[in-house]
Amino acid sequence: MFMESESQERPDGSRPPSRDPAPRPSRRVFSTAYKLRIVIEYENAPHGEKGAVLRREGLFSSHVVEWTRARDAGALGGAGAAVRAPERKPGKSAEQVELEKLRRENERLKARLATTETALDIMGKARALLQQVSERADFDQQ
């Protein structure tokens, strides 16, 4: 059976219709204002909600890392090398904001300590169990 390639002419002299490849996706371009807005929103998002910002905007964490570095280097025209302070709610003094921050950190550290203590307790019990098994095996051998 003879198969003609797409580059060959047909017997009637016409060429087969060309198959246009699927259009290539274009690279997204983000404005400077958008980048700064997303970086600020990402930095101010509470722990555990940063991923929601990325999913909502269809971004990867590498985008935010790159844009943050550019902002800190002054390339985005933002704050330059200065680190942005968290926005304060009206009516709260700097001491109140700092106190809330320290309380959140204290709660996080308490939870971490409880996890560590539980892990150590489990390890101690596992060691005691292994010690008993070892002693029982020694006793059975005698």
Distances (CA, A) of 75 to 35, 67, 79, 108: 11, 9, 10, 35
Task: Look at residue 95 in the predicted model and tell me its pLDDT.
Answer: 87
Sketch the domain layout of the chain as residue ranges: 28-87, 89-142
pLDDT digits (tens, 9 = 90+) for 45-77: 888 888 898 999 899 989 999 999 988 888 776
Show Cβ contacts of residue 45 under 8 Å, excluding neighbours closer than 6 positions: 52, 53
Q: Is 137 exposed, middle or buried (0-12, 13-18, 19+ CB in 10 A)?
A: exposed
The label of the residue with tokens 């330059």 reads: 80
User: Could you give the 3-state DSSP secondary structure of residue 38?
Assistant: helix
Characterize 24-49 residue by residue with b for buried, 16 or more Cβ atoms within 10 angstroms of its Cβ, and e for exposed.
eeeeeeeeeeebbebbbebeeeeeee
Q: Is 67 exposed, middle or buried (0-12, 13-18, 19+ CB in 10 A)?
A: buried
Task: Look at residue 73 in the predicted model and tell me its pLDDT.
Answer: 85
Distance CA 110, CA 119 (A): 14
Q: Which residues of the chain have pLDDT under 70?
A: 1-20, 77-90
Task: Look at residue 81 in the predicted model and tell me its pLDDT.
Answer: 45
pTM of the model: 0.39
Show Cβ contacts of residue 101 under 8 Å, excluding neighbours closer than 6 positions: 86
End-to-end CA distance of the chain: 84
Task: Look at residue 1 in the predicted model and tell me its pLDDT.
Answer: 47
